[in-house]
Structure 1
Amino acid sequence: MYASFIRAAITALAMVGCLPSILSAGPPLLQHANTYKGSQDVYGWLMSEKLDGIRGYWNGKLLLTRQGRVIHTPPWFTENFPAFALDGELWRKRNDFAFVQRTVLDEIPSKNWREITYNIFEVPGADGDFPTRLDKAGQWFFAHPATHVRVINQIECQGTDHLDAFLESIESMGGEGVVVKDPTLAFEAGRSAHVLKVKHFSDMEGTVIAHNPGKGKFEGIMGSLTLRLENGIQFKLGTGFTMAQRKAPPPIGASVTFKYQGFTRNGVPRFASFMRVRRD
């Protein structure tokens, strides 16, 4: 009952314009990784585990999703955060995305926040190269301790064999993959050829534009989704779903993540398989 009252109060305040800065922050300017194809020279770059959580951008006042939605943290979670920007991952452990998404995107913060950590991988507004920017965050939290915050450890890459071995060790523990980044450059927002995600499979997102009826054992339930990619290409995604998901498929307009292996001549993802619905 209390949670319902709080939600109603927030909605009422928003309707009269009392919470414009809280409920409509706008998408932040983020740096996005490209895909490692094996041909790029990453010797001397810094590498770290790619955490599979919810991205959290701290703008100095509010914690936002990558789409600019406000993340409703408990007050204690951000009370020691700095006035400058941070970019990081809200995470608990490997193979635990559903718990993180459910906890982080709830409008009413629950006790589950005690299990969430904030893992910093960039300081967007800072001057200098990548290590200098990360050091700014490290120095801040050394002076203002927060046990649930850490700066992600970076390892200098000694070449492709080193990268392959590191990726194998991460995946053997159930991790998603690795990020490698040129440490010498200043921060630049947007898709970057100097930040690469390394996995044994690729993933991307598409918007659900249609539900297609199933046949055979899937008769009477969803057989596939028609997705539209960011570049406008449309295709049918029909594998990777549980029976429960086929009976209650992601709604039209939902953003879903799928994994794939390369593209056809027409730009359609090959061997695509559903992973999850994104709410952030």
Structure 2
Amino acid sequence: MLLRGLAAALLGTGLAPLAAWSADAPALMLANVYRPGVRLADYWLSEKYDGLRAFWDGERLRTRGGETIAAPDWFTAQWPAEPMDGELWAGRGRFEEAMSTVRQLTPDDAAWRRIRFMVFDLPAHPGVFTERIEAYGRLVRRIDQAWVQAVPQERVGSHAELMARLDRMVRDGGEGLMLHRGDAPYRAVRNDDLLKVKTHEDAEARVVGHVPGKGRHAGRMGALVVQTPQGLRFKLGTGFTDAERDQPPAVGTWVTYRFRGLNESGVPRFASFVRVRPDAPR
């Protein structure tokens, strides 16, 4: 049946339904997009990992939306009570594998052996980010588990050097880079203390409707109608596989889309579907 709900499609698969945005969602720092002119001397640089944001609240791993992640007991055994902010990552270009593993209602032990928790911040630490780098490094060393890793941070001197680093990262299969202001406290809002650096812009929007397909796509989805967190609605009609058009993301699902700037009315230009995003909005 065309346009059947994604939650119904997941029944019997052993996968958790895509996360709803819960009132219990953790308060996390969110990134703006880098733009030339930012004073790079104030920032630390790291890789942007193509995984799923995860928050260790001292007792359990949770998604950005607030749902508990069904990780194996051994994965979080002897983790500290101190909250940790990070990414569950399976390696470059393996987002789908990470997503499938993390969404399993019954954890697949072998699959979780390929997942790493990349720690990049300590939300409860009172210091600025430069101090928190040292603190999360010490914490990870104390945990002493191969699958828990401290995200390396380094400095970058100029916009030209930053763009060269970005080009190398993308050629090597990485998603992009992150800039984190060294003198910033942990603030659970979207702000310029944290910036993402990518070769393209991307964002998240919620599916609010479906447009039937025509021609080759007759009888299945032609486009999604999506709404941004700011309330802007537009159609998203490219970037889908045939299988995704046969079984499109359900209304209420959050998706990531890629675009190239905005037109005069504020609608993203050349918007293209990337993936369902189980841990949005961000």
- CA distance change for structure 1 residues 231 and 44 in 2, over 3 Å: closer, same or farther? closer
Letter aligned with residue 53 of structure 1: G
| Residue aligning to 2:19 | none
Q: Report whether the alignment pairs 1:193 with 2:183.
A: no
What is the CA–CA distance in structure 2 between the aligned matches of 1:67 and 1:144, rounded to whole Å? 26
Q: Describe the superposition over 1:103-160 as per-residue Cα deviations: whole angstroms up to 9, x where unpaired.
A: 0121211121010000011111112221321222221232331110111001111111
**TM-score calculated relative to the size of structure 2:** 0.88
Alignment of 1:73-92 (within 5 A): 73-92=71-90
What is the CA–CA distance in structure 2 between the aligned matches of 1:135 and 1:87, rounded to whole Å? 14
Q: Secondary structure at the match of 2:231?
A: coil
Q: Secondary structure at the match of 2:202?
A: strand
Do 1:59 and 1:86's aligned partners in 2 also have CA atoms closer than 8 Å?
A: yes
| Residue aligning to 1:66 | 64
What is the CA–CA distance in structure 2 between the aligned matches of 1:205 and 1:150, rounded to whole Å? 27
| Residue aligning to 2:92 | 94
What is the CA–CA distance in structure 2 between the aligned matches of 1:254 and 1:99, rounded to whole Å? 19
Alignment of 1:1-280 (within 5 A): 26-111=24-109, 112-280=111-279
Identity across the alignment (%)? 39
Q: Which has the higher contact order (CA 8 A, sep 6+)?
A: 2
Do 1:129 and 1:183's aligned partners in 2 also have CA atoms closer than 8 Å?
A: yes
Q: Describe the superposition over 1:204-263 as per-residue Cα deviations: whole angstroms up to 9, x where unpaired.
A: 111111111111211222111100111111100000001111111111111111111111
Structure 1 gaps of 5+ residues are 8-23
When Rg is computed on C-alpha atoms for both structures, the one with the higher figure is 1
Structure 2 gaps of 5+ residues are 1-10, 15-21
Give the 4+ runs in structure 1 shifted more than 6 A: none
Do 2:120 and 2:136's aligned partners in 1 also have CA atoms closer than 8 Å?
A: no
Q: Secondary structure at the match of 1:136?
A: helix
| Residue aligning to 1:14 | none
| Residue aligning to 1:18 | none
| Residue aligning to 2:6 | none
Do 1:25 and 1:70's aligned partners in 2 also have CA atoms closer than 8 Å?
A: no
Q: Describe the superposition over 1:81-115 as per-residue Cα deviations: whole angstroms up to 9, x where unpaired.
A: 11111000000111111110110121211121010
Do 2:140 and 2:150's aligned partners in 1 also have CA atoms closer than 8 Å?
A: no
Do 1:238 and 1:273's aligned partners in 2 also have CA atoms closer than 8 Å?
A: yes
**TM-score calculated relative to the size of structure 1:** 0.89
